[in-house]
Structure 1
Amino acid sequence: MSGRDETAPVEKPDRRRLAGIALMCGTVAFFALLDASAKGLARAGVDPLLTTFMRYAVSVGLISLVLNPVRTPGVARTARPGLQILRSLLLFGSTALNFFALRHLQLAETLSIQFAAPLAVALLAGPLLGEWSSPRRLAAIAVGFVGVLVIVRPGVGTMHPAMLLSLGNMTCYACYILTTRRLAAFDSTATTLFYSGLSGLALMSPLLPWIWRSPDSWAVWALLVGVGLWGTLGHWLLIMAHALAPANVLAPFLYTQLLWSVALGYLIFGDVPSRWTLAGASIVVGSGLYLLAQETRRRDARPAA
């Protein structure tokens, strides 16, 4: 057999992984644009609740074009309707709290705190899912939360109250991840995606007469549509990326969103992260990568079935 034929089976998986990594980088770029659009709307005086409504209205509209009971029979059937509603509400809470926090905080600050969500997931997975962490993993989680304290700096006279909103966002997002993992045992990915924004949209719709204010420029309209568009495109690329490459290969590239957030924050809003934010973010990211490495090592050590 020629050398070219021998390498062909190896090159194909490599190309798939590279394509998955490229899609993951696109994912975080869209998520950074989502946050930047939300902050731009806050600077323009738009109510964060209206921004949240548009985030879900646009997203649900776009997803429904592809996933609906007509084109995908059975997609609305769920074995755990209560859990689907809870997951959707947790996603809504995470989004709304983040948008309120972005009125006062830099993009890099809110994102750095949100990066602690995987640490909270690893901590809560024991009592909630029976996935207990080893002492080393618990130590890494503790170090990661020290990084959050470095960013927030409570009790030193410089903590902005909006930091509490970001901490709430991180908590909601961690619970959202845990709920998603629990639902994976009962419902398909398509069903879970179908329900993702419905509860938030249903909750916000009755409030629309009180929060609606017609945008006074095309730029504001573009940003309102953008928060839904960027979020939808980001989740679409995320699904495609996981179809091409393993999660442990893709996960480290999630942290590149911090680079996008720092760049967009500086270019659009003139924000320069403080040394405390950068130091805390480095600790949180380092702890997250250590947990990921431990999980990969543990998975590789399991005997084949």
Structure 2
Amino acid sequence: MSDSPTGQPPVTPSTPEISTQPQQAHLPHNILKGFLLAAAALFLFTCMDSITKYLTSHYNVPFVVAMRYLVHCSVMLIILAPRHSTQLVKTQRTGLVILRGLALTLSSLCMGMALQRMPLAETTAINFLAPTLVALLAGSLLSERIGAWGWLAIVTGFIGVLLIARPGGGLDALGVFFALMAACANATYQLLSRLLASTEKAIALLFYTALIGSIIFGLALPWYWENKTPSTLELVLLLSMGLTGGLGHYLFTLAYRHAPASVLAPMTYLQLIWAGLMGWFIFGTIPDSTSLIGMCIVAASGLIIAVKSRPAKPVADQL
């Protein structure tokens, strides 16, 4: 998710300025700085997805995703463990924290499978259905009022996805299925992030997501290990996934310190533009007119939710 900010996935910070508190309050706002940090983060997220798409054409998906998590976890241990030690593993609702990590792990795997079979822009657009699913589920699970605007966003979001993944549109059916599964797992991750934000420290949530993905893919490594030596370029790309994703999430965390969530949420759809440009520049793929309309509709549905939803307190580790 792709680790897109639709769920603000785990951060791999590279400085000691990461907060260990569940909430941050009364932060000064610098909208322009927050905007620029978020834009840079979204660009890095798209870079990570592009690297994943390229590598999955040469290696199996579990191996590629495993490298992303192992690098991510290793960087956190090297940088954060010496200073924060027990803060990395201390939680109040450990079961839900683990479930949250499992949801992100499943989302990453499904996103990799989708990117292997589908163009970057269309895959990214379908994954952005996650905020709409969150709005749908939050009414029953979190007792949040959906309202007329929320239902409008939900309906238009699904219409947009149908236009992108329409029969005869040329997209791989299995790829569409994996993209939808990634969006559902991402929505679960977001809902759990909301539930845990008030009780868990950001640094622990970050670490557990990286650790759980590393354990799961690490244990399965003997079954999908490919006995071939990566080229220099492939090795650099394999190592860079965890770094680009981690740095992107860290920059997005900093963005939340300078601008409110209600301002940054609509900005996440800038990633659709990055994905379209990179898909064209790197892979030579351009969505057709109907798919472009569907992508715009999906973005509009998310923007409706972002603009009409009640402002929330900024949380460091809340896609």
TM-score (norm 1): 0.88
Q: CA deviation at 1:86?
A: 0.7
The answer to whether structure 1 residue 286 and structure 2 residue 300 are counterparts is: yes
Counterpart in the other structure of 1:39: 53
Counterpart in the other structure of 2:11: none
**Alignment counterpart, residue 265 of structure 1, candidates 271, 276, 279:** 279
Counterpart in the other structure of 1:191: 204
On the 8 A contact 1:147/1:284 being kept in 2, the answer is yes
* Distance in 1 of aligned mates of 2:229 and 2:166: 37
The amino acid of 1:206's aligned partner reads L
Q: CA deviation at 1:136?
A: 2.7
Q: Deviations over 1:47-76 (max 9, x none)?
A: 110011011001111122333375344331
Structure 1: tracts of 5 or more residues without a match: 1-12, 300-305
The answer to whether structure 1 residue 146 and structure 2 residue 129 are counterparts is: no
- Percent identical pairs in the alignment equals 37
Q: Deviations over 1:146-165 (max 9, x none)?
A: 111111114x5745221000
Q: Deviations over 1:222-245 (max 9, x none)?
A: 111121111101111011110111
The answer to whether structure 1 residue 228 and structure 2 residue 220 are counterparts is: no
Distance verdict in 2 for CA 1:205–1:281, change over 3 Å: same
On the 8 A contact 1:24/1:238 being kept in 2, the answer is yes
Structure 2: tracts of 5 or more residues without a match: 1-27, 313-319
**Alignment counterpart, residue 253 of structure 1, candidates 232, 252, 267:** 267
* Distance in 1 of aligned mates of 2:204 and 2:270: 29
* Distance in 1 of aligned mates of 2:138 and 2:266: 20
The answer to whether structure 1 residue 82 and structure 2 residue 74 are counterparts is: no
Q: Quick check: which has more Rg, 1 or 2?
A: 1
**Alignment counterpart, residue 160 of structure 1, candidates 172, 182, 192:** 172
Counterpart in the other structure of 2:81: 68
The amino acid of 2:55's aligned partner reads L
Distance verdict in 2 for CA 1:135–1:222, change over 3 Å: same
**Which region of structure 1 is more displaced relative to structure 2, 257-266 or 65-74?**
65-74
The amino acid of 1:180's aligned partner reads S
On the 8 A contact 1:69/1:76 being kept in 2, the answer is no
The answer to whether structure 1 residue 119 and structure 2 residue 137 are counterparts is: no
The amino acid of 1:142's aligned partner reads V
On the 8 A contact 1:69/1:75 being kept in 2, the answer is no
The amino acid of 1:196's aligned partner reads T
TM-score (norm 2): 0.84
Q: Deviations over 1:27-51 (max 9, x none)?
A: 10000000100011022x2111001
The answer to whether structure 1 residue 29 and structure 2 residue 43 are counterparts is: yes
Q: CA deviation at 1:135?
A: 2.4
* Distance in 2 of aligned mates of 1:186 and 1:119: 25
Counterpart in the other structure of 2:223: 210
On the 8 A contact 1:123/1:141 being kept in 2, the answer is yes
* Distance in 1 of aligned mates of 2:207 and 2:56: 28
Q: CA deviation at 1:114?
A: 0.9
Alignment of 1:290-305 (within 5 A): 290-296=304-310
The amino acid of 1:160's aligned partner reads D
Q: Deviations over 1:220-273 (max 9, x none)?
A: 111111211111011110111101110111122211111111111111111111
* Distance in 1 of aligned mates of 2:241 and 2:117: 18
Which structure has greater helix proportion?
A: 1
Cα-Cα RMSD: 1.8
Aligned length: 284
Q: CA deviation at 1:208?
A: 1.4
* Distance in 2 of aligned mates of 1:183 and 1:107: 31
Counterpart in the other structure of 2:291: 277
The amino acid of 2:183's aligned partner reads M
SS at match of 1:144: helix
On the 8 A contact 2:119/2:279 being kept in 1, the answer is yes
Q: CA deviation at 1:216?
A: 3.2
Distance verdict in 2 for CA 1:184–1:269, change over 3 Å: same
